[in-house]
Copies of this chain bind each other. A is one copy, B any other.
Amino acid sequence: MKKLINRPEDVVTEELRGIEAAHPDLVRVNYGPNYIVRADAPLQGKVALVSGGGSGHEPMHGGFVGMGMLDAACPGEVFTSPTPDQMLEATKAVDGGAGVLHIVKNYTGDVMNFDMAAELARGEGIDVESVVIDDDVAVQDSLYTAGRRGVGTTVLAEKICGAAAEERRPLAEVAELCRKVNANGRSMGMALTSCTVPAAGAPTFELGDDEMEIGIGIHGEPGRERRKLAPAAEISRELTEPIVSDVPFAEGDEVLAFVNSMGGTPLIELYVVYNELNRLLSERGIRITRNLIGPYITSLEMAGCSITLLKLDDELTRLWDAPVKTPGLRWGA
């Protein structure tokens, strides 16, 4: 196992210490239970957004804590759900009296623990709503999921709902907006290589030198098909077609196109894929009006990419463009 770490059991704590040291202007870190909150939390009268999930997907979610995005993130161990007490304590730490929205990726452990935390928080008088993101068109059920997995659309939902919360919109509206983003966002990913969980010390799965996995999950869960390597044009088409036909996206639609690195894929390749995606969508009369290109929801050092498309309207576009200031995503501030 080749990693820039010390002891595998200390990776998450040491990462959090690094984040705390690097971004004291943006975030505070709590240890035991582990969570990251905005430096200025709680904000009175603002709906607070809390997300979380296993570590190893950085910058998601801890890198998205800050003005215009999340109020708190709960990191579990690598590829392991955070616990209800993390979520409860984070929820209490950021509640400013206007309620808390839990944005939950659809993995069985995450959903169960966030449900429990929401119940406990309600028991303490905090108004909590939960929205589950399930945007991955690759598979219906999976190793860790009943229903579709939650992937790239989560990043977009956190940004857009974060902007709405900054406008002091009420909890019910921010939750409804989150459901709208989920309803209009679809993703699919692929892997050229596996990745290694530090505590496991060996690759999560094996891929031959001439193989790739289409429809991969962000923990290396099996996708649709393991097949021979193909050119970027073909891979891009195999990711784009199931996405486009699912919502469906149609001629005249304006979309946000998100081309994401799984962690080990360099930017030069993401732009090659973006070029293909742009061509494929142009052919269908679908226009990319916003984009995000880079490593935002990763799987450790896995090589590969995912594509997410979100159908935009004026409201979603305006909220996407609103200022954001987090360690992982920043503009206009």
Task: Please list the residues of chain A having a beta carbon within 8 angstroms of any beta carbon in chain B.
Answer: 2-7, 11-12, 14-19, 21-22, 55-56, 58-59, 63, 78, 192-193, 209, 212, 229, 231-233, 235, 263-275, 278, 288, 291, 293, 295, 298, 300-301, 303-305, 325, 327, 330-333
Contacts and interface: CB of A to CB of B under 8 A. Distances in A.
Contacts of A267: 58-59, 63, 295, 298
Task: Give the oligomeric copy count.
Answer: 2
A11 B268 contact: yes
A295 B58 CA distance: 13
A264 to B, nearest CB: 4
Contacts of A263: 264, 266
A22 B293 contact: yes
Contacts of A333: 331-332
Contacts of A272: 4-6, 11, 14-15, 18
A275 B18 contact: yes
Main secondary structure of the interface of A (DSSP, over half): mixed
A264 B56 CA distance: 14
Given A2-B212, A266-B300, A266-B301, 6 more contacts: A2-B192, A2-B193, A16-B271, A19-B271, A21-B274, A58-B267
A175 to B, nearest CB: 29
Given A56-B268, A231-B6, A303 B305 contact: no
